[in-house]
Structure 1
């Protein structure tokens, strides 16, 4: 074949080409040689000289296609309405495939003649040109589809729509329907405009989707009313879910994917959104009775509806809150902290599992669980009462971490500590918990009561993850002091051994604690004269420490010290651990079996009130005795007939027992800490902002403090006034509710 342009007889060439075109469009057999020759004919017509014949070829091809589609239209109409869909589908399948082949045959015409006259993407996007401009030429494949649309679909659209909707209605009642035919006919509305760059689905949406959606909505409006009248809410939900699943499957059988969600949404609107009041009215009983299947169905139906879940979420939150309050209100007995934590964990675990299983861990329901648990855990009898939860949680942790908690494996301990953090995260007053926890940790470390130092450290690390390093800074320093003290004791022992002719006479160990890290008050320490047996040890340690750390001052906290005495005055020896004040009293009985209150006070130098308390403890344990109550005139005698089943035991010191006074002191300390924290926050904010309105300042302070505690507005106002008095802030001249930073 020569590529050189030549003179061509159009009529003769077109007559030959037309036979092949008819064969291609009807999907008849066309030999490869014939195909190649006709391809050459198209090329020859497009490059003919003296003038190309492309325009005439396009016109004749368009005329043929119009005649061919008109003939097919007559055949579809002639087969009767009952066979209309199947006949249409048969001819469409053939025609659409043939038009694709025809587009290939006219490839050169499309490339050289039609595409050059087409608008570019830039023209369409920015030139304000419509894609449906009448004078724009279409490629031959596009022309074939456009012809089908004009001469087949447009005249038949009402008939086709009616027949399609009838077939869908039959499918809804379970009758057999030719799915391939219905889907194929519907798909033709899409395929016939696929070539369009803008709005290729417009014909499909206008011709089928919109009326299909309206018909579906009307059908399910009636269906919902019928089901609601005949069934309970539980059965109604089951049947609605079945209908929705069936309709979704039906959409996938017949419709274009772009319609799936639209049809499903229409069904949901008619069967769920239109009956929200009915469904919401049943939520309360379902939640109260925890009917999991019904709740799962309710969630499934309400989730896609805008604002549908609100009532269900409120009911779930209210139910969990009520359950939590009932669990913590009626706590009685010895182990109230344990009951409190375990009851709340049980509630939390139960409803976490319910939210995971029924509501698929939906964040809105997880948020409802968090709010409900926080409300129950931070519950107060009244505004005047303090919340007991931080104190109870710290006591639970204390009981867990003490040596008394026997039979708990390492993994169980870790699980229990993690559970403590679960409750801790819901506390509003985390600073109160910190105060109680640090005080109890101090006692465990000082008196060696910790079951496991690894567990202690693990708990502090969990608290640090929950609240940050600042929250646990002092707790870490307490641990550091304990380890440093261990090293100090070894160094002190080496120091004693290096001295010639120095014998302490007792086993002596010491703990050196940083004043700022430990929650131990150094004010109001009782006066005390240490026994002669310990004077040398104390002097030697002070000498050793002053050499090692010059400039540091040691303050001895004898009320926290303990000692082990061996009783040799009884029938059998006893090893008794006690506080240093009790030890000092009992050592006096080495020289006499009976001592007056005055003698004991003179030798120990203890205040009268403290001495009475310590003597009463010894009398209660029957190691010493006196007649009547202990007074300043009492005579104290050693009980030489004392017996005990255990040869090794401990006398609990008074300071190790929690008292209401200590609890009150802790709360007072927290109150003072809060004032300082709020003042620091206010200064920090004002330093950055310079000028700020009162309401904005209050809001920012609350925002910064929320992670630690929930501050009250009156307390913030007092702190602002205090800072104004200290000349950190001042009210601006323009407004009384605006502050400026002046420090």
Structure 2
């Protein structure tokens, strides 16, 4: 039995033809075609009009079958939008071109959004229930879909070309309507899911067009502009493209767009820009064009591996500048006849200045980039280890430190001293012969400390601390031990003076008439520094025949020291000692500051008139000829001629004779008599021995851990572990053979492979 129809049901013709179409659809189309202001967009239909249409749709969708018109209304909704787009919108767009097309597209899209929204409002009940329960496309999505299929897909090629044309006009410096472009971009973003249409239809074409545009620009600029001018334009272009994205493109486009620009303007032209004669990277470095260098670094840091070629140019330039400093020193020696000594502060200062300059460039212009730090290091390692003359650069660096740290050297304040020491240590890190520097520095440190020539103990500790920070405690252990010996020595001297006072009191109580130190020596006139053998450099042992007064002093100290340290043996190093002699020439009295050997030699003259030959003096002092000659030279041929030599000359011969110079005169009362050292700055043989020990220790340490290694692997690991010097692989091979002979290692069945013997 059929159900009865509802009272007064609304037919599809009545509802659509008499109500919805004339009162909603047609007015909506008319208003959109006429154009409307922003206020009108919000108030197209009043509340009463809207509720009336909504109610009609509601009733038509809620009537019982066969009067439920949900499906026909859904179709009518779609047909209305589709028909309007085909009949009105598309013909309008086909009548416009270029920028006018974009204006019309924007207007029609804005209208379509309004139409789509009001249609959804009118048929809201249909959208909520019928569409949802039947898994149909929502009304809003359907409206967008129709616009895409019937409008967007047809006009998009022309729209894209019009947009690109405007963008290129802006690139050429013209003012364009950015808001218009942004509105068109929004259309592309709205069509499709996940911005597919934007990426496929606009972005890909934009990137291709951008590549073509900047390829042409790049070719033009490279032919007419210098490297700095080209990079200025490239940087401006990148900033403009970045702003372009911010103004009207999708944010996700930025990285892709900039990549295209970087590839065309920088990556493809990098070699030409960097190596261009007259304005390339090397020329910018030569002319200190720091702003241009910063820009070059910033731009090429955006190119994949773009900094590597630049770093190589920087390295080559620093090497060239460093080699110029080396060549200038060589020219001064060979062409200008400059004496080859280990004192060349101007050479060291030139290296320090060069290092300061390029460290500043790396830190400021290249933002402390590791590639450029590596380039700086490798460049300095290359030329800092190029030695000129017989003195190695390690010796020159150490001697420069000696000038700074000793009295009478460089006149610097505390801050300047620390600054100079820091710079020297930075340069020291590039030396491959760090152990040689340490040996020479230790010898010079010993002279400063033992001769009281050090300007400041704090400065000495500061320098040792800097070396320790770079190379570790093992590197500076002996230097720290030397300072510690002198610190302990002050306590020793105090205890020794107490000992002498006690002995003097005992002698007085026993009515002894012989003072412990002799009649002319007071306790305060004699002091001893006890040095630990392992810390200090090795010195030539001289068994000097001392005057009686000096001998009694050494015997007194030995007696005290033996009581205090029964297991230690004292060995006197008279060549390191110092003495002050009071000499009277006529009515003038002088205090002569000498070393111990000079004092012993002067005291060996028994009268002012006595004339002694070299052989006699050698016998009296028990000092070999090779030590006697520099000793006599310092007293007879130097600035202060305390002795008179016959015959007069600047060289000491076996046949020469010497007397006290009766005509000696000097305006100064206190005179320091310099003495050429009889010790070498370092012992090359000892350094080689220490290196051999270090190589063998590294070999054993590696083989103990690895058990079996090939010769190449072992050599490579040994070279990587030795931080203080760089041995020749041949020397490493010799030490391996020595360890095989001593049965620490053995050859495997493979003759190129070694095994560790536990």
What TM-score, normalized by structure 2, do the two folds share? 0.81
Task: Report the CA distance between 1:171 and its aligned residue.
Answer: 3.0
Match of 1:127 in 2: none
Tell me the equivalent position of 1:179: 178
Deviation larger for 97-106 or 434-443: 97-106
- Secondary structure of the 2:252 match is helix
Alignment map for 1:223-242 (pairs within 5 Å): 223-229=217-223, 235-242=229-236
Match status 1:555 vs 2:571: yes
Does structure 1 retain, via aligned residues, the 8 Å contact 2:90–2:151? no
How many pairs are equivalent? Answer: 698
- Aligned-partner Cα distance in 2 for 1:45–1:495: 127
Residue equivalent to 1:320: 318
C-alpha distance 169-572 of structure 1, shift in aligned 2 (>3 A): closer
Residue 726 of structure 1 corresponds to: 742
Give the Cα–Cα distance (whole angstroms) in 2 for the partners of residues 686 and 535 of structure 1.
54
Match of 2:663 in 1: 641
Counterpart-to-counterpart distance in 2, 1:567 and 1:674: 49
Taking the aligned partners of 1:340 and 1:112, their CA distance within structure 2 comes to: 92
The aligned counterpart of 1:440 is 444
Q: For the residues of structure 1 that align with 2:140 and 2:414, how far apart are their CA atoms? A: 76
The CA deviation string for residues 363-418 of structure 1, in whole angstroms up to 9 with x for no partner, is: 4333323222222211246xxx8772111100100011111136311111111111
Deviation at 1:699, TM superposition (A): 1.1
Tell me the C-alpha RMSD between the 2 structures. Answer: 4.1
Contact kept in structure 2, 1:596 and 1:633, CA below 8 Å: no
1:341·1:423 contact (CA, 8 Å) conserved in 2? no
Tell me the CA shift for residue 329 of structure 1. 2.0
1:305 aligns with 303
- SS of the aligned residue for 2:683 comes to helix
- Structure 1's 232 and 466: CA in aligned 2 closer, same or farther, altered over 3 A? closer
After TM superposition, give the deviation of residue 277 of structure 1 in Å. 5.3
1-structure distance, mates of 2:562, 2:744: 41
Report the CA distance between 1:137 and its aligned residue: 6.0
TM-superposition CA deviations, 1:286-326 (whole Å, max 9, x none): 32463526655555554433454444433332222111111
Q: Is the 8 A contact 1:62 1:143 kept in 2?
A: no
Is the 1:248–1:260 contact (alpha carbons within 8 Å) kept by the matching residues of 2? Answer: yes
> 1:429-456: CA deviations, max 9, x gaps?
1111111111111111111111111111
Cα separation, 2, equivalents of 1:488 and 1:178: 91
The 2-side partners of 1:683 and 1:39 are apart by 95
> Which residue of the partner structure matches residue 721 of structure 2?
704
User: For residues 175 and 630 of structure 1, do their structure 2 counterparts lie closer, same or farther at Cα, with a shift above 3 Å needed?
Assistant: closer
- Tell me which of 81, 84, 88 is aligned to 2:96: 81
- Distance in 2 separating the partners of 1:104 and 1:407: 91
1:618 aligns with 2:635: yes
- 1:257 Cα deviation from its structure 2 partner: 1.3
CA 1:50–1:647 in structure 2 vs 1: closer, same or farther (change >3 Å)? farther
Alignment map for 1:78-157 (pairs within 5 Å): 78-79=91-92, 80-82=95-97, 83-93=100-110, 96=113, 142=141, 144-157=143-156
Counterpart of 1:64 in structure 2 is 77
Aligned to 1:123: none
Q: Distance in 2 between matches of 1:729 and 1:10?
A: 108
- 1:336-374 deviation per Cα after TM superposition (whole angstroms, max 9, x unaligned): 531122111222233344445554544433332322222
* Residue 17 (structure 1) shift: 11
Q: CA 1:313 to 1:39, structure 2 compared with 1: closer, same or farther past 3 Å?
A: farther
Displacement after TM superposition at 1:708 (Å)? 1.4
| Alignment-derived partner of residue 122 in structure 1 | none
The equivalent position to 1:542 in structure 2, one of 530, 552, 558, is: 558
Instruction: Tell me, yes or no, if the aligned pair for 2:585 and 2:664 is still in contact at 8 Å.
Output: no
How far is 1:94 from its partner?
A: 5.6
Deviation for aligned residue 1:213: 1.5
CA contact (8 A) 2:403 2:410 kept: no
C-alpha separation between the residues in 1 aligned to 2:675 and 2:221? 75
In structure 2, what is the Cα distance between the partners aligned to 1:10 and 1:588?
A: 145
* 1:508 corresponds to which of 516, 520, 526: 526
Q: How does 1:597-676 map to 2 (within 5 A)?
A: 597=613, 600-620=617-637, 621-628=640-647, 636-655=658-677, 662-663=680-681, 665-676=682-693
Unaligned runs of 5+ in 2: 1-8, 33-40, 333-337, 508-514
* 1: CA distance, partners of 2:642 / 2:538: 30
Per the TM alignment, residue 87 of structure 1 is displaced from its structure 2 partner at its CA by 3.1
- Cα deviation, residue 739, structure 1: 0.9
Residue matched to 2:381: 374
* Aligned equivalents of 2:228, 2:627: Cα separation in 1: 71
Give the Å deviation of 1:11. Answer: 8.8
Summarize the Cα distance change of 1:380–1:649 in structure 2 as closer, same or farther, 3 Å threshold. closer
- Residues 599, 713 of structure 1: alpha-carbon distance in 2 compared, 3 angstrom cutoff: closer
Matches within 5 A, 1:324-343: 324-331=322-329, 332=332, 333=338, 337-343=344-350
1:38 CA displacement: 11
- Relative to structure 1, is the Cα distance of residues 107 and 563 closer, same or farther in structure 2, using a 3 angstrom cutoff? farther
Contact 1:283 / 1:315 at 8 angstroms: preserved in 2? no
Q: How far is the alpha carbon of 1:575 from its aligned partner?
A: 0.7
Q: Post-superposition shift, 1:711?
A: 1.9
CA distance, structure 1, for counterparts of residue 56 and residue 529 of structure 2: 107
Q: How does 1:249-648 map to 2 (within 5 A)?
A: 249-276=243-270, 278-282=272-276, 286=280, 287-288=282-283, 290=286, 292=289, 295=293, 298-299=296-297, 301-331=299-329, 332=332, 333=338, 337-356=344-363, 358-380=365-387, 388-405=392-409, 407-499=411-503, 500=505, 501=507, 503-504=516-517, 505-506=521-522, 507-521=525-539, 524-568=540-584, 570-589=586-605, 593-594=609-610, 596-597=612-613, 600-620=617-637, 621-628=640-647, 636-648=658-670
**Does the 8 Å contact 1:359/1:365 carry over to 2?**
yes
Counterpart-to-counterpart distance in 1, 2:20 and 2:705: 85
Structure 1 unaligned spans of 5+: 1-8, 118-135
Greater Rg over alpha carbons, structure: 2
Q: Is the 8 A contact 2:394 2:433 kept in 1?
A: yes
**CA positional deviation for 1:636:** 3.8
Matched, 1:738 2:756: no
Task: Give the structure 2 partner of residue 132 of structure 1.
Answer: none
Q: 1:208 offset after TM fit, Å?
A: 0.5
Distance in 2 separating the partners of 1:143 and 1:247:
36
Between stretches 675-684 and 538-547, larger displacement belongs to 538-547
Q: CA deviation at 1:608?
A: 4.4
Question: In the TM superposition, what whole-angstrom CA distance separates every residue of 1:227-274 from its partner, at most 9, and x where no partner exists?
Answer: 445556555444444444444433433321111222222233334444
How has the CA–CA distance of structure 1 residues 526 and 687 changed in structure 2, closer, same or farther, with 3 Å as cutoff? same
Question: 3-state DSSP class of the match of 1:551?
Answer: coil
1:628-649 per-residue CA deviation (whole Å, 9 max, x = no partner) reads 3866776543233322111101
Residue 533 of structure 1 deviates from its aligned partner by: 0.5
Q: Residues of 1 paired with 2:477 and 2:63: CA distance?
A: 95
1:220 aligns with 2:235: no
State how 1:685-696 maps to structure 2 within 5 Å. Answer: 685-696=702-713
Alpha-carbon distance, 1:98 to partner: 8.1
Deviation at 1:693, TM superposition (A): 1.4
**Contact between 1:730 and 1:739, CA under 8 Å: does it hold in 2?**
yes
TM-aligned CA distance change 1:564 to 1:264, over 3 Å: same
2:198 to 201, 204, 209: 204
Q: 1:188 to 1:454 in 2, by over 3 A?
A: same
Distance 1:542 1:20 in 2: 124
